[in-house]
Chain A
């Protein structure tokens, strides 16, 4: 089955700096890669996703890049703000029946003033 590894497990940045979180996946058939943000005690919220026919996608301060050859994808947050502090999860799936997402273990991002 699919295996998703996520690094780092914790990340601390100064407000205004950029943050990068990286994930690798094992299943070359995976074609859908979402990123979720989870605040304490709440459900994960989708912040951006990318499909395997695209190499990069951007939404304001957030961007995701995908390298299918190397089987890794990354989340980039620019101009970080205190409200960006949360746990971020990457995930991968083949799509298809059940769209069974396999999640990384999460990155605790802390944006310091």
Chain B
């Protein structure tokens, strides 16, 4: 099936630990994105990538890092520098970077314990 796959669905992290969320797409999309969603709020852009080996900061990039070594993969690392990491993380992709529709994965829940 074509789509965007995020893993794991649920993740628990101890304070001070880095964790990496996986995002894979088989839609042959050029652009990929990471959004964060907090309860009762909209989605906020963390990072985005328009092409392999290139990515840009979004509105709330502090405490996060990404890589884009392959077109189909865009992992997000939540570092210990992120002071309030508990949230729902959404990966998305689009065909190109000129305004085409963005499609979302099913999300990953991260909880700091």
Chain A partners chain B = yes
Chain A residues engaging chain B, CB cutoff 8 angstroms: 1, 4, 6, 9, 31-32, 34, 36, 41-46, 49, 51, 89, 93-101, 103-106
Whether the Cβ atoms of B98 and A44 lie closer than 8 Å is no
12 A-B contacts (beta carbon < 8 Å): A1-B59, A6-B42, A9-B40, A43-B90, A44-B43, A44-B90, A89-B43, A96-B98, A98-B33, A98-B48, A105-B41, A106-B42
Whether the Cβ atoms of B50 and A98 lie closer than 8 Å is yes
Interface size on B, residues (CB 8 A): 29
Name B42's contact: one of A98, A99, A105 (CB within 8 Å).
A105
Which 8 residue pairs spanning A and B have beta carbons closest together? A95-B99, A103-B42, A43-B104, A103-B43, A98-B48, A43-B106, A105-B42, A32-B99
Tell me which of A1, A100, A101 has the highest count of chain B C-beta atoms within 10 A of its own C-beta: A101
Residues of B within 8 A of A41 (CB): 107, 109
Name B101's contact: one of A34, A42, A97 (CB within 8 Å).
A34
Whether the Cβ atoms of A96 and B99 lie closer than 8 Å is yes
Report the nearest A residue to B42, measured CB to CB. A103
